[in-house]
Amino acid sequence: MDKTGIINTLRYVVKKGADILSAVDDFAGVRMRVFHEFPYLYEGTLEHEREYLQTYCKAANAFLFAAYDGDKMIGATTCIPLKDEVEEVRQPFLDAGMDIDTLFYFGESVLLPEYRGLGLGHRFFDEREAHVRSFGTYRHMAFCAVNREANHPLKPDDYRPNDAFWTKRGYRKNPDLVCSMSWLDIGETEKTKKSLTFWMKAL
């Protein structure tokens, strides 16, 4: 793909709360493709994706920002008040004695490989952070990233983690804030638990 000028041809869509439902299938397709890659190695299904995204559709202040090339969604990002997230995401903050009413959780930022390197990663963070600041009541933003062993057999030789990018955006890794989630890995026949560590940024 010739990336020259393509950033100017993309269109952007914002959806909030129940309106996110209209984008669920498009978003699910992007999520399944991107999270199939290392380090998530996610073997997803449309049924599971629809179930997962219901959490966002039911939260009035949940936010989705999507990029389209024509009619094709090529990337998207989400965020949601932490109090509206599922228990396994909320619990580490509750255990640490934090006020979850002051926290906004960033769900995912996914972009098809052929559209990377255009600055959309920063755009996605900018849009989410602006959404959180619009309320004037939140003190922190947080997201989590899966932990994989350094010598994982499916780790590509050219793999580079996003740690440097996140750090430049002002986020800091919190080793004491860890949650567990289960999903089906590539090559697995049953779901297994994975640990994910949270990153946070103060407003």
Domains, the chain, in order of start with CATH, read 9-202 (3.40.630.30)
Phi, psi of 59 (to 5 degrees): -100, 115
Is omega for the bond preceding 39 within 30 degrees of 0, making it cis? yes
**Helix count and strand count (H, E) for the chain:** 5, 7
pLDDT at residue 2, rounded to an integer? 59
CA distance 146 to 107: 13
User: Nearest 10 degrees: CA dihedral of 93, 95, 99, 100?
Assistant: 40
Which residues on adjacent β-strands are paired with residue 202? 140
Which tokens is 118 given?
Answer: 């255009």
196 with 179: CB under 8 angstroms? yes
Phi, psi of 188 (to 5 degrees): -90, 155
pLDDT at residue 26, rounded to an integer? 97
Question: Is pTM, for the whole model, over 0.85?
Answer: yes
56 with 76: CB under 8 angstroms? no
What is the tens place of the pLDDT at every residue in 39-84?
Answer: 999 999 999 999 999 999 999 999 999 999 999 999 999 999 999 9
